[in-house]
A and B are shown apart, each in its own frame.
Chain A
Amino acid sequence: MKRLAPLVSLVMVALLSLCLPGNNSMAQEHGTTGHTTTAGDAHATDAHATDAHREAKPDKVQEAFHTAENSSFVDLILKQMGYVKPHEGEEDHNDPTLKTLAMFQMPIISAVVIFLIMGVLVAGASKREMIPGRHQNLVELIIGGFDDFIQGILGLQGRHFLPFLGTLFLYIWISNLIGLVPFFKSPTSSFNTTVGLAICVFLYVHWTGIRRNGIGGYIYHLAGEPKDAIGWGMVPLLFPLHVIGELAKPMSLSLRLFGNIFGEETLIAVFVGLGIGAMAFLPMMPVGIPFQVPFMFLGLLTCTIQALVFTLLSTIYFALMLPHHDHEPGHAEGHAAAHH
Protein backbone atom coordinates (compact mmCIF):
# COMPACT_ATOMS: atom_id res chain seq x y z
CA MET A 1 0.00 0.00 0.00
CA LYS A 2 2.81 2.39 0.90
CA ARG A 3 4.50 1.77 -2.42
CA LEU A 4 1.31 2.69 -4.24
CA ALA A 5 1.12 6.20 -2.76
CA PRO A 6 3.35 7.90 -5.36
CA LEU A 7 1.43 6.21 -8.15
CA VAL A 8 -1.86 7.46 -6.73
CA SER A 9 -0.49 10.99 -6.52
CA LEU A 10 0.77 10.78 -10.10
CA VAL A 11 -2.56 9.57 -11.38
CA MET A 12 -4.25 12.40 -9.52
CA VAL A 13 -2.01 14.96 -11.15
CA ALA A 14 -2.46 13.31 -14.53
CA LEU A 15 -6.24 13.39 -14.20
CA LEU A 16 -6.13 17.05 -13.29
CA SER A 17 -4.10 17.97 -16.32
CA LEU A 18 -6.17 15.69 -18.54
CA CYS A 19 -9.36 17.41 -17.43
CA LEU A 20 -8.23 20.53 -19.21
CA PRO A 21 -7.79 19.75 -22.89
CA GLY A 22 -7.60 23.10 -24.72
CA ASN A 23 -4.22 23.41 -23.11
CA ASN A 24 -2.22 25.68 -25.30
CA SER A 25 -4.98 28.20 -25.87
CA MET A 26 -3.01 30.60 -23.69
CA ALA A 27 -0.01 30.54 -25.95
CA GLN A 28 -2.01 30.43 -29.15
CA GLU A 29 -4.40 33.21 -28.31
CA HIS A 30 -1.73 35.76 -28.02
CA GLY A 31 -0.15 35.33 -31.34
CA THR A 32 3.37 34.89 -32.47
CA THR A 33 6.44 35.03 -30.35
CA GLY A 34 9.06 34.92 -33.00
CA HIS A 35 7.08 37.45 -34.95
CA THR A 36 8.98 40.55 -33.96
CA THR A 37 12.39 39.04 -34.45
CA THR A 38 11.79 37.49 -37.83
CA ALA A 39 9.99 40.56 -39.07
CA GLY A 40 13.03 42.58 -38.09
CA ASP A 41 15.12 41.37 -40.98
CA ALA A 42 13.62 42.10 -44.29
CA HIS A 43 14.24 38.72 -45.90
CA ALA A 44 10.91 37.91 -47.38
CA THR A 45 11.63 34.21 -47.51
CA ASP A 46 11.64 33.83 -43.79
CA ALA A 47 9.49 36.65 -42.60
CA HIS A 48 6.49 36.25 -44.83
CA ALA A 49 4.88 33.24 -43.22
CA THR A 50 5.34 34.32 -39.63
CA ASP A 51 3.59 37.63 -39.90
CA ALA A 52 1.41 36.47 -42.72
CA HIS A 53 -1.99 37.23 -41.27
CA ARG A 54 -0.88 40.56 -39.86
CA GLU A 55 -0.01 42.20 -43.17
CA ALA A 56 -2.87 43.38 -45.28
CA LYS A 57 -2.12 41.35 -48.39
CA PRO A 58 -4.02 38.16 -47.75
CA ASP A 59 -4.27 36.55 -51.19
CA LYS A 60 -0.59 36.35 -52.02
CA VAL A 61 0.48 35.43 -48.52
CA GLN A 62 -2.22 32.82 -48.07
CA GLU A 63 -1.16 31.24 -51.30
CA ALA A 64 2.39 31.00 -50.02
CA PHE A 65 1.09 29.70 -46.74
CA HIS A 66 -0.78 26.82 -48.29
CA THR A 67 2.04 25.37 -50.28
CA ALA A 68 3.93 23.34 -47.79
CA GLU A 69 7.38 23.84 -49.29
CA ASN A 70 6.98 27.60 -49.09
CA SER A 71 6.21 27.89 -45.40
CA SER A 72 9.31 28.77 -43.47
CA PHE A 73 11.11 26.56 -41.06
CA VAL A 74 10.80 29.07 -38.22
CA ASP A 75 7.08 29.05 -38.68
CA LEU A 76 7.00 25.27 -38.52
CA ILE A 77 9.01 25.29 -35.31
CA LEU A 78 6.86 27.95 -33.73
CA LYS A 79 3.71 26.13 -34.79
CA GLN A 80 5.15 22.92 -33.39
CA MET A 81 5.67 24.63 -30.08
CA GLY A 82 2.19 26.11 -30.15
CA TYR A 83 3.22 29.74 -30.41
CA VAL A 84 1.61 30.43 -33.76
CA LYS A 85 -2.07 30.16 -34.23
CA PRO A 86 -2.81 28.16 -37.37
CA HIS A 87 -4.36 30.29 -40.03
CA GLU A 88 -8.11 29.97 -40.54
CA GLY A 89 -7.74 28.98 -44.16
CA GLU A 90 -5.04 26.52 -43.33
CA GLU A 91 -7.01 24.59 -40.79
CA ASP A 92 -9.28 23.16 -43.46
CA HIS A 93 -6.33 21.54 -45.17
CA ASN A 94 -5.05 20.00 -41.98
CA ASP A 95 -5.10 16.34 -41.30
CA PRO A 96 -7.77 15.66 -38.63
CA THR A 97 -5.40 13.30 -36.83
CA LEU A 98 -2.82 16.06 -36.61
CA LYS A 99 -5.44 18.48 -35.37
CA THR A 100 -6.46 16.11 -32.60
CA LEU A 101 -2.83 15.50 -31.75
CA ALA A 102 -2.20 19.24 -31.51
CA MET A 103 -5.27 19.68 -29.35
CA PHE A 104 -4.23 16.96 -26.90
CA GLN A 105 -0.52 17.78 -27.16
CA MET A 106 -0.15 18.70 -23.51
CA PRO A 107 -1.97 15.69 -22.00
CA ILE A 108 0.03 13.39 -24.29
CA ILE A 109 3.37 14.88 -23.24
CA SER A 110 2.15 14.79 -19.64
CA ALA A 111 1.42 11.10 -20.04
CA VAL A 112 4.88 10.52 -21.53
CA VAL A 113 6.45 12.25 -18.53
CA ILE A 114 4.35 10.27 -16.08
CA PHE A 115 5.11 6.90 -17.67
CA LEU A 116 8.81 7.80 -17.85
CA ILE A 117 8.94 8.52 -14.11
CA MET A 118 6.77 5.51 -13.31
CA GLY A 119 8.91 3.23 -15.44
CA VAL A 120 12.19 4.32 -13.85
CA LEU A 121 10.87 4.19 -10.30
CA VAL A 122 8.91 0.95 -10.57
CA ALA A 123 11.74 -0.83 -12.38
CA GLY A 124 14.19 0.39 -9.77
CA ALA A 125 12.03 -0.59 -6.81
CA SER A 126 10.69 -3.91 -8.07
CA LYS A 127 13.83 -6.01 -7.63
CA ARG A 128 15.22 -4.98 -4.27
CA GLU A 129 18.52 -6.40 -3.19
CA MET A 130 20.72 -5.94 -0.17
CA ILE A 131 23.60 -4.79 -2.36
CA PRO A 132 21.87 -2.40 -4.75
CA GLY A 133 22.63 -2.43 -8.42
CA ARG A 134 22.95 0.73 -10.49
CA HIS A 135 19.27 1.26 -11.06
CA GLN A 136 18.25 0.62 -7.48
CA ASN A 137 21.05 2.89 -6.34
CA LEU A 138 19.72 5.73 -8.47
CA VAL A 139 16.21 5.39 -7.11
CA GLU A 140 17.48 5.13 -3.55
CA LEU A 141 19.61 8.22 -4.09
CA ILE A 142 16.65 10.24 -5.35
CA ILE A 143 14.25 9.11 -2.65
CA GLY A 144 16.77 9.16 0.20
CA GLY A 145 17.97 12.62 -0.71
CA PHE A 146 14.47 13.94 -0.91
CA ASP A 147 13.53 12.29 2.38
CA ASP A 148 16.38 14.14 4.09
CA PHE A 149 15.37 17.39 2.42
CA ILE A 150 11.72 17.17 3.52
CA GLN A 151 12.57 16.02 7.04
CA GLY A 152 14.95 18.93 7.39
CA ILE A 153 11.97 21.26 7.06
CA LEU A 154 9.00 19.32 8.44
CA GLY A 155 10.77 17.23 11.08
CA LEU A 156 9.91 13.62 11.70
CA GLN A 157 6.43 13.77 10.22
CA GLY A 158 7.93 14.88 6.93
CA ARG A 159 7.90 11.25 5.86
CA HIS A 160 4.12 11.32 5.82
CA PHE A 161 4.21 13.98 3.11
CA LEU A 162 7.16 12.54 1.23
CA PRO A 163 5.11 10.63 -1.38
CA PHE A 164 3.11 13.69 -2.39
CA LEU A 165 5.96 16.20 -2.33
CA GLY A 166 8.46 13.86 -3.94
CA THR A 167 6.04 13.06 -6.74
CA LEU A 168 5.37 16.73 -7.22
CA PHE A 169 9.07 17.47 -7.51
CA LEU A 170 9.79 14.63 -9.93
CA TYR A 171 6.81 15.45 -12.12
CA ILE A 172 7.63 19.16 -12.32
CA TRP A 173 11.33 18.55 -12.80
CA ILE A 174 10.94 16.04 -15.62
CA SER A 175 8.16 18.14 -17.19
CA ASN A 176 10.45 21.17 -17.21
CA LEU A 177 13.34 19.21 -18.64
CA ILE A 178 11.36 17.49 -21.37
CA GLY A 179 10.78 20.90 -22.95
CA LEU A 180 14.44 20.90 -23.93
CA VAL A 181 14.02 17.69 -25.93
CA PRO A 182 13.24 18.39 -29.60
CA PHE A 183 9.56 17.98 -30.55
CA PHE A 184 8.47 18.15 -26.93
CA LYS A 185 7.00 21.02 -25.00
CA SER A 186 7.00 21.37 -21.25
CA PRO A 187 3.59 20.55 -19.82
CA THR A 188 4.42 23.13 -17.15
CA SER A 189 4.65 25.87 -19.78
CA SER A 190 0.87 25.71 -19.91
CA PHE A 191 -1.00 27.64 -17.25
CA ASN A 192 -3.55 24.85 -16.88
CA THR A 193 -0.99 22.31 -15.69
CA THR A 194 0.56 24.61 -13.13
CA VAL A 195 -2.86 25.65 -11.85
CA GLY A 196 -3.79 21.98 -11.52
CA LEU A 197 -0.65 21.31 -9.50
CA ALA A 198 -1.18 24.37 -7.31
CA ILE A 199 -4.80 23.35 -6.65
CA CYS A 200 -3.57 19.89 -5.62
CA VAL A 201 -1.19 21.50 -3.14
CA PHE A 202 -3.84 23.94 -1.88
CA LEU A 203 -6.43 21.22 -1.26
CA TYR A 204 -3.97 18.87 0.40
CA VAL A 205 -2.56 21.62 2.64
CA HIS A 206 -5.99 22.67 3.85
CA TRP A 207 -7.22 19.13 4.24
CA THR A 208 -4.16 18.43 6.37
CA GLY A 209 -4.83 21.60 8.35
CA ILE A 210 -8.42 20.61 9.08
CA ARG A 211 -7.49 17.03 9.91
CA ARG A 212 -4.55 17.82 12.18
CA ASN A 213 -5.93 20.92 13.93
CA GLY A 214 -9.62 20.07 13.91
CA ILE A 215 -12.20 22.46 12.46
CA GLY A 216 -11.95 24.81 15.45
CA GLY A 217 -8.17 24.80 15.45
CA TYR A 218 -8.16 25.40 11.70
CA ILE A 219 -10.36 28.48 12.04
CA TYR A 220 -8.29 29.62 15.02
CA HIS A 221 -5.19 29.28 12.85
CA LEU A 222 -6.80 31.31 10.07
CA ALA A 223 -7.73 34.00 12.61
CA GLY A 224 -4.05 34.48 13.36
CA GLU A 225 -3.98 32.51 16.63
CA PRO A 226 -4.93 35.37 18.98
CA LYS A 227 -3.65 35.08 22.55
CA ASP A 228 -4.89 38.21 24.35
CA ALA A 229 -7.66 40.80 24.20
CA ILE A 230 -5.87 42.92 21.59
CA GLY A 231 -5.33 39.82 19.47
CA TRP A 232 -9.03 38.95 19.64
CA GLY A 233 -9.90 42.54 18.78
CA MET A 234 -7.83 42.31 15.62
CA VAL A 235 -9.55 39.12 14.43
CA PRO A 236 -12.19 40.80 12.22
CA LEU A 237 -9.35 42.57 10.45
CA LEU A 238 -6.90 39.69 10.28
CA PHE A 239 -9.26 36.87 9.35
CA PRO A 240 -10.11 38.13 5.83
CA LEU A 241 -6.48 39.03 5.37
CA HIS A 242 -5.37 35.49 6.16
CA VAL A 243 -8.05 33.99 3.92
CA ILE A 244 -6.94 36.19 1.02
CA GLY A 245 -3.35 35.27 1.77
CA GLU A 246 -4.19 31.58 1.63
CA LEU A 247 -5.98 32.06 -1.70
CA ALA A 248 -3.04 34.03 -3.08
CA LYS A 249 -0.61 31.19 -2.34
CA PRO A 250 -1.71 28.80 -5.13
CA MET A 251 -1.96 31.74 -7.51
CA SER A 252 1.60 32.89 -6.95
CA LEU A 253 2.79 29.27 -6.95
CA SER A 254 1.25 28.50 -10.33
CA LEU A 255 2.07 31.87 -11.91
CA ARG A 256 5.71 31.61 -10.89
CA LEU A 257 6.20 28.18 -12.42
CA PHE A 258 4.22 29.00 -15.56
CA GLY A 259 5.99 32.32 -16.07
CA ASN A 260 9.45 30.88 -15.65
CA ILE A 261 9.01 27.88 -17.90
CA PHE A 262 6.94 29.66 -20.53
CA GLY A 263 9.43 32.51 -20.53
CA GLU A 264 12.35 30.14 -20.88
CA GLU A 265 10.75 28.27 -23.77
CA THR A 266 9.81 31.51 -25.49
CA LEU A 267 13.38 32.73 -25.13
CA ILE A 268 14.70 29.57 -26.76
CA ALA A 269 12.15 29.84 -29.58
CA VAL A 270 13.06 33.47 -30.19
CA PHE A 271 16.75 32.64 -30.42
CA VAL A 272 16.10 29.71 -32.74
CA GLY A 273 14.26 32.19 -34.94
CA LEU A 274 17.13 34.68 -34.71
CA GLY A 275 19.66 32.03 -35.68
CA ILE A 276 17.63 31.08 -38.73
CA GLY A 277 17.04 34.73 -39.58
CA ALA A 278 20.80 35.27 -39.56
CA MET A 279 21.24 32.55 -42.17
CA ALA A 280 18.29 33.64 -44.25
CA PHE A 281 20.48 34.63 -47.22
CA LEU A 282 20.65 30.94 -48.04
CA PRO A 283 17.59 30.35 -50.21
CA MET A 284 15.02 28.05 -48.59
CA MET A 285 17.53 26.21 -46.47
CA PRO A 286 16.47 25.11 -43.02
CA VAL A 287 19.85 26.00 -41.56
CA GLY A 288 20.53 28.32 -38.68
CA ILE A 289 23.19 29.34 -36.20
CA PRO A 290 22.40 27.59 -32.91
CA PHE A 291 22.05 30.76 -30.84
CA GLN A 292 19.75 28.94 -28.45
CA VAL A 293 22.34 26.56 -27.01
CA PRO A 294 23.59 28.80 -24.16
CA PHE A 295 19.99 29.47 -23.21
CA MET A 296 19.29 25.76 -23.13
CA PHE A 297 22.04 25.38 -20.54
CA LEU A 298 20.45 28.24 -18.63
CA GLY A 299 17.21 26.31 -19.04
CA LEU A 300 18.69 23.26 -17.33
CA LEU A 301 19.40 25.47 -14.33
CA THR A 302 15.99 27.17 -14.34
CA CYS A 303 14.16 23.86 -14.65
CA THR A 304 15.80 22.39 -11.58
CA ILE A 305 15.53 25.53 -9.47
CA GLN A 306 11.89 26.12 -10.31
CA ALA A 307 10.95 22.51 -9.55
CA LEU A 308 12.83 22.83 -6.26
CA VAL A 309 11.20 26.16 -5.41
CA PHE A 310 7.70 24.86 -6.10
CA THR A 311 8.28 21.84 -3.88
CA LEU A 312 10.04 23.86 -1.20
CA LEU A 313 7.21 26.37 -0.99
CA SER A 314 4.62 23.57 -0.84
CA THR A 315 6.61 22.01 2.00
CA ILE A 316 6.66 25.32 3.83
CA TYR A 317 2.91 25.72 3.38
CA PHE A 318 2.53 22.32 5.05
CA ALA A 319 4.89 23.40 7.83
CA LEU A 320 2.88 26.56 8.42
CA MET A 321 -0.39 24.65 8.53
CA LEU A 322 0.70 21.89 10.90
CA PRO A 323 0.15 22.31 14.65
CA HIS A 324 3.08 24.17 16.15
CA HIS A 325 4.25 21.77 18.84
CA ASP A 326 5.18 19.29 16.14
CA HIS A 327 7.84 21.40 14.54
CA GLU A 328 9.59 23.43 17.19
CA PRO A 329 12.59 25.28 15.84
CA GLY A 330 15.06 23.27 17.91
CA HIS A 331 13.65 20.03 16.65
CA ALA A 332 13.75 21.05 13.00
CA GLU A 333 17.20 22.51 13.41
CA GLY A 334 18.49 19.31 14.94
CA HIS A 335 17.25 17.48 11.90
CA ALA A 336 18.68 19.93 9.45
CA ALA A 337 22.04 19.71 11.17
CA ALA A 338 21.92 15.93 11.33
CA HIS A 339 21.16 15.53 7.65
CA HIS A 340 23.32 18.06 5.93
Chain B
Amino acid sequence: MNLLGLGLPLGVGLAALGSGIGLGKAVGGAMEAMGRQPEAIPRIQTAMVIGAAFIEALTIYALLTVLLLQGKL
Protein backbone atom coordinates (compact mmCIF):
# COMPACT_ATOMS: atom_id res chain seq x y z
CA MET B 1 0.00 0.00 0.00
CA ASN B 2 1.56 3.24 -1.06
CA LEU B 3 0.52 6.86 -1.29
CA LEU B 4 -0.06 6.66 -5.06
CA GLY B 5 -3.57 5.40 -4.43
CA LEU B 6 -4.33 8.61 -2.57
CA GLY B 7 -2.28 10.98 -4.69
CA LEU B 8 -3.42 10.03 -8.17
CA PRO B 9 -7.17 10.53 -7.73
CA LEU B 10 -6.48 13.65 -5.70
CA GLY B 11 -4.31 14.98 -8.51
CA VAL B 12 -6.99 14.33 -11.11
CA GLY B 13 -9.55 15.94 -8.85
CA LEU B 14 -7.43 19.08 -8.49
CA ALA B 15 -6.79 19.21 -12.23
CA ALA B 16 -10.50 18.78 -12.89
CA LEU B 17 -11.26 21.56 -10.42
CA GLY B 18 -8.94 23.95 -12.23
CA SER B 19 -10.22 22.91 -15.65
CA GLY B 20 -13.77 23.26 -14.45
CA ILE B 21 -13.19 26.83 -13.32
CA GLY B 22 -11.39 27.64 -16.56
CA LEU B 23 -14.04 26.05 -18.75
CA GLY B 24 -16.76 27.78 -16.81
CA LYS B 25 -15.18 31.16 -17.41
CA ALA B 26 -14.44 30.43 -21.09
CA VAL B 27 -17.85 29.03 -21.96
CA GLY B 28 -19.60 31.65 -19.86
CA GLY B 29 -17.78 34.41 -21.72
CA ALA B 30 -18.55 32.81 -25.06
CA MET B 31 -22.23 32.43 -24.20
CA GLU B 32 -22.41 36.06 -23.20
CA ALA B 33 -20.77 37.12 -26.44
CA MET B 34 -23.12 34.88 -28.44
CA GLY B 35 -26.13 36.35 -26.73
CA ARG B 36 -24.90 39.83 -27.47
CA GLN B 37 -23.96 39.14 -31.09
CA PRO B 38 -25.87 36.18 -32.49
CA GLU B 39 -24.51 36.81 -35.99
CA ALA B 40 -20.97 36.03 -34.80
CA ILE B 41 -21.94 32.63 -33.31
CA PRO B 42 -19.97 30.42 -35.73
CA ARG B 43 -16.69 32.23 -35.13
CA ILE B 44 -17.16 32.49 -31.38
CA GLN B 45 -18.05 28.81 -31.26
CA THR B 46 -14.91 27.81 -33.17
CA ALA B 47 -12.69 29.84 -30.89
CA MET B 48 -14.50 28.49 -27.84
CA VAL B 49 -14.06 24.88 -28.90
CA ILE B 50 -10.33 25.41 -29.45
CA GLY B 51 -9.97 27.06 -26.06
CA ALA B 52 -12.00 24.35 -24.38
CA ALA B 53 -9.81 21.70 -25.99
CA PHE B 54 -6.68 23.40 -24.63
CA ILE B 55 -8.17 23.64 -21.15
CA GLU B 56 -9.50 20.12 -20.94
CA ALA B 57 -6.20 18.74 -22.24
CA LEU B 58 -4.74 19.62 -18.83
CA THR B 59 -7.16 17.31 -17.06
CA ILE B 60 -6.50 14.66 -19.67
CA TYR B 61 -2.77 14.86 -18.88
CA ALA B 62 -3.55 14.29 -15.21
CA LEU B 63 -5.85 11.40 -16.13
CA LEU B 64 -3.09 9.92 -18.29
CA THR B 65 -0.72 9.71 -15.33
CA VAL B 66 -3.37 7.73 -13.48
CA LEU B 67 -3.93 5.37 -16.38
CA LEU B 68 -0.20 4.88 -16.87
CA LEU B 69 0.64 4.43 -13.19
CA GLN B 70 -2.36 2.23 -12.43
CA GLY B 71 -0.21 -0.90 -12.57
CA LYS B 72 1.84 0.42 -9.65
CA LEU B 73 -1.10 0.94 -7.33
Residues of A within 8 A of B (CB): 26, 29-33, 35-36, 152-153, 252, 255-256, 258-260, 262-263, 266, 305, 308-309, 312-313, 316, 333, 336, 340
Contacts and interface: CB of A to CB of B under 8 A. Distances in A.
Nearest to A149: B46
Nearest to B43: A336
Interface in B37-61: 42-43, 46, 49-50, 53, 57, 60-61
Contacts of A305: 49, 53
Nearest to A305: B49
B70 A30 contact: yes
B48 to A, nearest CB: 11
Contacts of A30: 67-71
A95 B42 CA distance: 54
Given A30-B71, A259-B60, A263-B67, A313 B53 contact: yes
- Determine chain A's interface SS by DSSP, over half rule: helix
B73 interface: yes
B71 A309 contact: no
A336 B57 CA distance: 27
B28 to A, nearest CB: 19
A309 B49 contact: yes
Contact of A309 (B42, B43, B53, B73): B53
A312 B48 CA distance: 12
Contacts of A32: 70-71
A260 B53 CA distance: 10
A309 B60 CA distance: 14
Nearest to A30: B71
B58 to A, nearest CB: 10
B31 interface: no
A85 to B, nearest CB: 9
A312 B49 contact: yes
A30 B66 CA distance: 10
A313 B60 contact: no
A32 B46 CA distance: 38
Most A CB within 10 A of own CB, among B49, B60, B61 = B60
